[in-house]
Amino acid sequence: MTGIRPLVAGNWKMNGLGSSLAELASLRNRLEAAPVPETDIMVCPPATLLSRAREIVDGSSIMIGAQDCHPLPSGAHTGDISAEMLADAGATAVIVGHSERRTDHGESDTLVQAKALAAYRAGLMAIVCIGETEAHYRDGKTLDILRTQLEGSVPEGARATNTVIAYEPVWAIGSGLTPTPQEVAQVHGLIRTVLGQMLGDAEAGGTRILYGGSVKPSNAAELLFVPEVNGALVGGASLKAVDFYEILSVYAGTRS
């Protein structure tokens, strides 16, 4: 760790009905019974659950984030949700540029940057995702791809206080595969260097860089203490309170 307060964010993706909020309540109870000190904790449920999720975590250490936003504050965009709407529903952050958005919806770096700017406009923290495909990884293009995505996706107005970078190797998401700790350290070091060139060393030095890609209780301790890793963006393991708390507990030095 580099002295940066870590963030562990759970991305529920397109999972969760009202009954799923019992898991969020269980997570709150676990954290109240055995807090995880000096760690920021966030859950990003689907938009349909944002308001109810915010009510459940009110007064606790858990923050609520959203999974995507439209670049504009309002307008004739049926089915889309603006950053202002997310903030109004209780979100304090929003994920932008997740690989599933880039792949399923063809989102470009330019669009991701516009969404990050929308997050700033609404007073939200932007969690900007970057990551290479398996083909890029096997061809040795990981570092080039990540540099291009960073330079195209992170706005000039990015600061350590309003931006988090999440590195998620696309080939590792949901596959059970993960890069080696050495590979993760190399990639996160490059991200820090590129951010320094873009934002200046002071801002880059304080910006949290999360690792995402099949983070689970069995590998959390190995991944979260890699140099330049300042937390995690957790997928499937965040859907169950017991699993998510197990990951969080790495920072507390305890196990559930």
* Residue 202 token pair: 């002071």
Predicted TM-score (pTM) above 0.85: yes
State how far the Cα of 153 lies from the Cα of 142, in Å rounded to an integer. Answer: 16
pLDDT over 90 for what percent of the chain? Answer: 92
What mean pLDDT value characterizes the chain?
Answer: 95
pLDDT, tens only, 130-148:
999 999 999 999 999 999 9
Stated length of the chain: 256
pLDDT of amino acid 153: 98
Backbone phi, psi, residue 234, to 5°: -105, 135
pLDDT of amino acid 178: 80
State how far the Cα of 186 lies from the Cα of 100, in Å rounded to an integer. Answer: 24
On the question of pLDDT at 255 being above 70, the answer is no
On the question of pLDDT at 254 being above 90, the answer is no
State how far the Cα of 124 lies from the Cα of 71, in Å rounded to an integer. Answer: 13
Residue type, 6: P
Structural domains of the chain, with CATH: 7-230 (3.20.20.70)
Name the β-bridge partners of 8.
41, 232
> Cα torsion at 11, 230, 177, 138 (round to 10°)?
110
β-strand pairing of 208-212 with 163-167: parallel
Annotated catalytic sites, by residue?
98, 168
* Residue 131 token pair: 């990551």
